[in-house]
Chains A and B, each alone.
Chain A
Amino acid sequence: MEKKELIYEGKAKKIYATDQPGQIIHEFKDDATAFDGKKKGRIAGKGNTNAQMSDIIFRYLERLGIRTHHVKLLCDNEILTWHLDMILIELTVRNYAAGSLAKRLGYEERTQMSEPLVEYYYKSDDLGDPLISEEHIHELDLASEEQLQEITEIALRVNDVLIPYFQARGLILADFKMEFGVREGQIYVADEFSPDICRLWDAESGEIMDKDRFRRDLGKLEETYAEVLRRVKEEEHGLQVSIYISPKKGVLDPQGQAALGALKTLGFEEVADVRIGKYITLRLEGADGEKARERVKDMCEKLLANPIIEDFRFDVLD
């Protein structure tokens, strides 16, 4: 795998060709820009953060069957991806009003949308990525009817899976932007997934945890990006559930009896009784405390334990 010539340098990334046909490298920069390039700056470590967060999020999406251009993380700030034939539409999904939407339509910031709102923008640096309608898309021939429908569906599905994902990590996904491309006749999610292209608010404090801090000069840029990456990276996320299933009192436990006999033979005279059961662990994603307990109880009663011969109890750890 050899990095070859620079194909394109954007505001936040450099794109390189490789010696493998069909694959390119995205090198993430620490440079930050806003308001159509009018505001410029640097956020130390942002290149690493955004590359690594994209790696984690895209791999998560892939696991759920959503096709992305992501191949693998090459190093801290470089990602190998498939080279796509880009669809020149930037698609945003908004769960809450913020930024340009709030301004444009007079919403108060943070107004919740009645349902996720999808907007399309024409991907054109020259024209400043203007907001467009479906009719514009057809007129400009940016995508076919089917493609438009498919990218919208994908975006909404991504929203559906990422809302609980971030919620489990203490963040509200207010909105995000997606780009798409085509490869071998199939549509793939392109670009990145990082605090640069979405709005994340801390679930408890409401604090802004994304590029808006840069846009609005709220400070603590490096720390915030690092914190978001940290929450996303945490290995075992979600609720850990430990379930203990044991034979009911009074039910003969032949295995327990056999073990008891063997222990005594080995000289452990003090063992008076042995019951052998099962220990099952679950990891619940995007679940919350109380409801989780109810559902785990249901799982035990329906499947994991047989109430005629087994008792169960469980612990839910946050």
Chain B
Amino acid sequence: MRFGVVIFPGSNCEVDCYHVIDRVLGMDVEYIWHQDTDVSSYDCLVLPGGFSYGDYLRCGAIARFSPVMEAVKEYAQGGGLVIGICNGFQILLEAGLLPGAMLQNTSLHFICRFVDLKVENAATPWTNRGEQGQVLSIPINHYEGNYVADKATHRKLVEEGRVILRYCDQKGEVTAKANPNGALDNIAGICNEGFNVFGLMPHPERAAENILGSTDGLVIWESVMAHFEEKR
């Protein structure tokens, strides 16, 4: 399976994503420069975390106009698998590939720590190796993770099972206390209508090796690999 990790000026988690895909998962992976316009040869695109364009103006607001994003859009519209992590998620929102928008964390501080996430839908290309209700320990690391959407969009997301991950406590209870950034309905990750585009604020590449504290992030990576195998 071939992964493509997009690099925007200012991205900084692309190396970590590459490391996990290459070393931990043992899959083919290449970098895609933001000015490239051909993404057709990849089986999954990764928009990594970081501070594209310094997060100037709004997170992801400038990156979404990069030449590569046209290709990413077409690829996604054709059913291609796309995962946007943190800043990548923000870029997908600005580009309209996922609904909603991001605001600053209610604490007005950057937050870097492990959080617990509840798998709300285990029947997606991204979570099929997990179980409904499973609690994953994966770090977040952001200043703007406060997800918002209007009522209609929110209702649609919930009804269609497109809310994939929610912030929860260690026992799997979705509570206000467990919400680190004020996100609407504790939403940490969502999918598009076709379930082929996945955006999440937590960093699954930071929870893929025991030595770093958790391997729960592997659920996401291994799920998309399993999905790809199945489709072949």
| Direct A–B touching, Cβ under 8 Å | yes
Cβ contact within 8 Å between A252 and B148: yes
For A236-269 the 0/1 string (1 means CB < 8 A from B) is 0000000000000001111101100000000000
A258-B108, A303-B61, A306-B58 as given contacts; A251 in contact with B94, CB under 8 Å: no
Inter-chain contacts of A303 with B (CB < 8 A): 57, 61-62, 65
| B residues 70-119 in Cβ contact with A at 8 Å | 94, 100-101, 103-108
Cβ contact within 8 Å between B104 and A309: no
**CA–CA, A303 and B53, complex, Å:** 14
Number of interface residues of B (CB under 8 A): 19
Q: Does any Cβ of B come within 8 Å of A308's Cβ? A: yes
Inter-chain contacts of A308 with B (CB < 8 A): 100-101, 148-150
Q: Does any Cβ of B come within 8 Å of A304's Cβ? A: yes
Tell me how far the C-beta of A22 lies from the nearest C-beta in chain B, rounded to whole angstroms.
Answer: 39
Q: Does any Cβ of A come within 8 Å of B182's Cβ? A: yes
Q: Determine which of A251, A254, A306 lies in contact with B106 in the assembled complex, contact meaning CB atoms within 8 Å.
A: A254
For A289-306 the 0/1 string (1 means CB < 8 A from B) is 000000000000001101
Q: Which residue of A lies closest to B64 (CB)?
A: A303
Tell me how far the C-beta of A24 lies from the nearest C-beta in chain B, rounded to whole angstroms.
Answer: 44
Inter-chain contacts of B101 with A (CB < 8 A): 306, 308-309
**CA–CA, A200 and B106, complex, Å:** 58
Cβ contact within 8 Å between A252 and B61: no
Q: Does any Cβ of A come within 8 Å of B146's Cβ? A: yes
Q: Which residue of A lies closest to B94 (CB)?
A: A306
**CA–CA, A72 and B101, complex, Å:** 50
Number of interface residues of A (CB under 8 A): 12
Cβ contact within 8 Å between B57 and A254: no
**CA–CA, A258 and B182, complex, Å:** 14
**CA–CA, A306 and B149, complex, Å:** 12
**CA–CA, A182 and B62, complex, Å:** 41
Inter-chain contacts of B100 with A (CB < 8 A): 308
Q: Determine which of A255, A304, A309 lies in contact with B108 in the assembled complex, contact meaning CB atoms within 8 Å.
A: A255
Inter-chain contacts of A253 with B (CB < 8 A): 103
Inter-chain contacts of B103 with A (CB < 8 A): 251-254, 309
Cβ contact within 8 Å between B104 and A255: yes
**CA–CA, A214 and B62, complex, Å:** 53
**CA–CA, A187 and B129, complex, Å:** 67
For B131-157 the 0/1 string (1 means CB < 8 A from A) is 000000000000000101110000000
Tell me how far the C-beta of B100 lies from the nearest C-beta in chain A, rounded to whole angstroms.
Answer: 7
A303-B65, A308-B100 as given contacts; A254 in contact with B105, CB under 8 Å: yes
Q: A252-B106, A252-B182, A254-B104 are in contact. List 4 more A-B contacts (CB 8 A).
A: A254-B105, A255-B108, A303-B61, A306-B94
Q: List 8 A-B contacts (CB under 8 A).
A: A253-B103, A254-B104, A303-B57, A303-B61, A303-B65, A308-B148, A308-B149, A309-B103
**Which 4 A-B residue pairings sit nearest by Cβ, starting from the closest?**
A308-B101, A309-B101, A254-B106, A254-B104
